[in-house]
Amino acid sequence: MATALIILGAGMGTRMNSELPKVLHQIAGAPMLVHAMKSGAALEPDLTVIVAGHGAAAVETAAKAYDPDAVIAQQSEQLGTAHAVAQARGALAGFDGDVIVLYGDTPFIRPETLAAMTAARLTHDIVVLGFVAADPGRYGRLIMKADQLDRIVEFTDATDEERAVTLCNSGVIAAHANTLFDLIDTVGNDNAAGEYYLTDIIGIARAKGLSATVVHCDEAETLGINSRAELSAAEALFQSRARTAAQDDGVTLTAPETVFFAHDTVIGRDAIIEPNVVFGPEVTIESGATIRAFSHLEGCHVSRDAVVGPYARLRPGAELAEGVKIGNFVEIKNAQIAEGAKVNHLSYIGDADIGARANIGAGTITCNYDGVFKHKTVIGADAFIGSNTMLVAPVKIGNAAMTGSGSVITRDVPAGDLAVARARQDNKAGFALRLFEKLRARKAKGA
């Protein structure tokens, strides 16, 4: 059967107290909306519709960055979740298949769970994803009658007896598109919030003789995010899962609770990640690499047996080949560092190509920016860059060339040459002794 996803993300997220639309708040470096889209993608949907309202333009940009084929439906007034789903009707005109409604603020639904819902649809008209909550709080409650889901009651409208029910609504609902839109047409807004509740379709469906059931999942999967506290709890949950997954994949984490992953971090077997390492988006680390303590990496690739840090920063476009060594207080941006090259201390390497086995001395800086344009530095294989060399780009250092310490290099250096670009040293005999005498005499006089 054809499948379409509708992901609701129009709500303002009042409890976030934010300028940013709620579904664009990030978990592990990706908007929570993208996490929801990633879960839904496991169903290989024929169509994905995102319902956007607050900050719709920004929501559209984020959604399309992940899936260029996603369709945006506008909900300019947020009148409730049923009203939100109704806005997707145009985008799904003529669609004959199942619809799965996901909430953009519920990012952790597992593919297996969605598959279980699809399976349950074979025997029931409507399938709702539910979970037993340790603390049901403000979640909608699932009211069962015999083996059928009878209705869903929202917390604000629930009686004390209903509030005592711990089986809660995750928000995920599956039904045939025609069933869903027919039911939504009949939803009213006569409730405590004055909203059109999607959850009302269950009671309406049952009254019409349709069947409804609940697929259960773990509470952790259905974590809904409505506040900053819940956002940080979601982040913590994501991180703890990512740490366990990395360890299961054969990665050594010396102090797992201090390592932070992005949603897409990839780390090979037998890599070692020391304490307090932070991964931004788009990082891949190959087998056997070591990321030493207090390093920050984003948008970079680290090959086999390379060593990074402690206290290193790899920024987007940093590509480290096998056996490269990047040491303390070194920043690398948009630069290819070839096999076995070393940048061990206190350097900035940006917009550069560094040849195999080159040694970049302490304090070396590629001066890549002239205030308007960025320029490239190319350093050949086996080159030796003296400590504290300023490489004023664009500039090329040939294979096996050298620069003298403290040089400001503004012209290309041919292969095999030594470039020295600093003031020549001048020793003044005995001058220091005479100067010290003079200064001490002045101090003795109390000057």
Using CB under 5 A as the criterion, which residues of the chain lie in contact with Ca ion when the complex forms?
A: 105, 224, 226
Pairing of strands 365-367, 342-345: unpaired
* Residues in 212-241 at the binding interface with ligand UD1, rule: CB under 6 A: 224, 226
Tell me: does residue 197 bind ligand UD1 (CB under 6 A).
yes
Tell me: does residue 39 bind ligand UD1 (CB under 6 A).
no
Which listed residue (95, 131, 139, 261) binds ligand UD1 by CB under 6 A? 139
Task: In angstroms, give the least distance from the CB of 193 to ligand UD1.
Answer: 8
Tell me: does residue 48 bind ligand UD1 (CB under 6 A).
no
The three-point CA angle 403-407-410 to 5° equals: 90
Which listed residue (5, 6, 10, 165) binds ligand UD1 by CB under 6 A? 10
Told to judge if 345 belongs to the known catalytic residues of this protein, a careful annotator would answer yes
Question: Can you spell out the DSSP letters for 257-319?
Answer: GG-B--TT-EE-TT-EE-SS-EE-SS-EE-TT-EE-TT-EE-S-EE-TT-EE-SSEEE-TTEE
* Residues in 241-270 at the binding interface with ligand UD1, rule: CB under 6 A: none
Helices (H), 17-55: 32-41
26, amino acid identity: Q
Task: In angstroms, give the least distance from the CB of 62 to Ca ion.
Answer: 18
Number of C-beta neighbours around residue 159 at 10 A: 9
138, amino acid identity: R
Residue closest to Ca ion when measured from CB atoms: 224
Selected catalytic residue, list 176, 216, 345, 375: 345
Task: In angstroms, give the least distance from the CB of 229 to ligand UD1.
Answer: 14
Whole-number Å distance between alpha carbons of 64 and 360: 41
Q: Is 352 exposed, middle or buried (0-12, 13-18, 19+ CB in 10 A)?
A: buried
Whole-number Å distance between alpha carbons of 254 and 275: 6
Task: In angstroms, give the least distance from the CB of 4 to ligand UD1.
Answer: 16
Intra-chain end-to-end CA distance of the chain, in Å: 94
* Residues in 98-137 at the binding interface with ligand UD1, rule: CB under 6 A: 103-106
The residue (of 151 and 396) whose beta carbon lies closer to ligand UD1 is 151
What CA–CA distances, in Å, run from 320 to 218, 299, 313, 332? 40, 12, 12, 10
Tell me: does residue 203 bind ligand UD1 (CB under 6 A).
no
Q: Choose the stretch contacting ligand UD1; rule: CB under 6 A; options: 191-199, 365-373, 375-383, 417-425.
A: 191-199
Binding site for ligand UD1 (CB under 6 A): 8-11, 22-23, 51, 75, 78-81, 83-84, 103-106, 139-140, 152, 154, 168-171, 197-199, 224, 226
Give catalytic residue positions: 345
